Amino acid sequence: MAPVVKQVTMVRPESPELIERGLRCLLGGPAAANGAAVSPLLLQRLQALRHYGQFHQLDIHRQVLAVFEDEIVAACLWVNTPGRVASLYITDPREHPQVLPALSLCIAGAVQDAQTAGLSLAQAIVEDQDHVSAQAYRDAGCEYLATLLYMERSEPWLSPRAVFPSGVSLETYDAENHAQFCRAIEESYVGALDCPRLTGLRGIEDVVRGHKAVGRFRENLWFLLRHDRKPIGVLLLAEVEARESLEVVYLGLAPEMRGRGLGTALIQLALRQLAANSLRVCTVAVDAKNTPAMALYRKMRFRKKHSRDVYIKALNPISAAVPAGCS
């Protein structure tokens, strides 16, 4: 029997047994949560999810389940990630269309729980052309933020030399220059084209925490640019060991320093770090509407691998408007 939305009960599982059933619904659909045999592929996906949570020290037990006649019919998992962001994950409605009547209720419940927990933002990454999931997020009150293009390039045969103009100096991150990094990041948001809708949703310290949580944070891969000692830009890189890649987490310049070739020099620096750390590829996610950034990465021979749409819901915006940047 198909569930009638008004008859669905929303449940936050607490027992290990119900939490496990919720994860099975999330990754394998309602049948897997309600007594059907669990396939080897689903077991592998469950193990990978648990390993991911343990490795990144993330709680993967915060769920909202839709229950109808004692059976789980849909699930939404929300993960409290560094930077006060709730990452949302749902049962795939393309593979399991029967979840649709209740799926947006699960999402709305998860968003409410994240807001109650004091988080600033809920976000979901939706595969390209997955209009069904996108509609479920919209029905739950989320809004479209941006289309991110995921680009990469392999290690060059000869690592390019990064050339910076006279008066521009470079230094790596440490506790003493943390405030200067924050200042440079904030300055880089002025007039920026990278996910401008995020302005005012998170404070700069939360933004930095989110950046540090990408891949493996290493102080010597975070670079601060100064011009006549004033912070004017940053290049934040992270090693992603599972993919043997170096990710450009964030690149930003103050408005007055744009158009001077500094972006090119910073990507050249990133490619030198790629070679120096014996990594396979350099990756970046770019807002598709950020035309200058797209032109820079294409010039540096990055190629598009795939795209994803981002949906968000503002939860507890900060009082002072501080841009957040795509993360």
pLDDT digits (tens, 9 = 90+) for 144-165: 999 999 999 998 766 778 889 8
- In 235-327, which ranges are continuous DSSP H helix? 262-276, 291-299
Q: Which of 82, 110, 141 represents a domain boundary (last residue)?
A: 141
* pLDDT tens-digit readout, 58-71: 898 999 999 998 99
- Mean pLDDT on 268-294: 95
* 306 and 167 belong to one structural domain: yes
- For residues 249 and 101, which has the higher predicted lDDT (pLDDT)? 249
Position 325 in a domain: no
Position 323 in a domain: no
Report CA-CA distances (Å) from 242 to 33, 143, 155. 30, 31, 17
pLDDT for residue 326 = 58
Token pair 């950034």: residue: 293
- Mean pLDDT on 102-129: 96
* 292 and 226 belong to one structural domain: yes
* 83 and 173 belong to one structural domain: no
Return the ∠ at Cα 321 (arms to 107 and 257), rounded to 5°: 115
Residue 263 structure tokens: 């972006």
* 170 and 297 belong to one structural domain: yes
Query: Residue 294's closest CA among 146, 162, 168, 159?
Result: 146
Percent of the chain with pLDDT over 70: 94
* 205 and 225 belong to one structural domain: yes
* pLDDT tens-digit readout, 23-70: 999 999 999 999 898 899 999 999 999 998 888 788 989 999 999 989
pLDDT for residue 324 = 47
Is residue 318 scored above 90 in pLDDT? no
Position 87 in a domain: yes
Residue 193 — pLDDT band, cuts 50, 70, 90?
confident
Report CA-CA distances (Å) from 88 to 36, 78, 91, 108, 268. 25, 5, 11, 10, 35
Structural domains counted in the chain: 2
Residue 109 — pLDDT band, cuts 50, 70, 90?
very high
The reported pTM is 0.91
Radius of gyration over alpha carbons of the chain, in Å? 21
Is residue 320 scored above 60 in pLDDT? no
- Mean pLDDT on 173-200: 92
Position 89 in a domain: yes
Position 326 in a domain: no
Percent of the chain with pLDDT over 90: 80
* 160 and 257 belong to one structural domain: yes
pLDDT for residue 301 = 95
Q: Which of 119, 141, 163 represents a domain boundary (last residue)?
A: 141
Residues 147/288, Cβ–Cβ less than 8 Å? yes
Measured CA to CA, the distance from residue 322 to residue 186 in angstroms comes to 7
* 83 and 43 belong to one structural domain: yes
* 17 and 81 belong to one structural domain: yes
Q: What is the extent of the structural domain holding 273?
A: 151-314
Is residue 1 scored above 50 in pLDDT? no
Measured CA to CA, the distance from residue 151 to residue 160 in angstroms comes to 19
Is residue 6 scored above 90 in pLDDT? no
**CATH code for the domain in which residue 269 is found:** 3.40.630.30
pLDDT for residue 123 = 98
* 135 and 252 belong to one structural domain: no
Q: Which of 90, 108, 141 represents a domain boundary (last residue)?
A: 141
pLDDT for residue 3 = 52
pLDDT for residue 156 = 78
The β-bridge relationship of strands 245-253 and 168-172 is unpaired
Is residue 21 scored above 70 in pLDDT? yes
What is the end-to-end Cα distance of the chain in Å, rounded? 41
Tell me what the pLDDT averaged over the chain comes to: 92
Measured CA to CA, the distance from residue 111 to residue 117 in angstroms comes to 10
pLDDT for residue 298 = 96
**129-138, 150-159, 214-223: which has the minimum mean pLDDT?**
150-159
Residues 48/106, Cβ–Cβ less than 8 Å? no
The residues that bridge with 77 in the sheet, in sequence order, are 63, 89
- One-letter amino acid at 125 equals I
* 234 and 261 belong to one structural domain: yes
Position 107 in a domain: yes
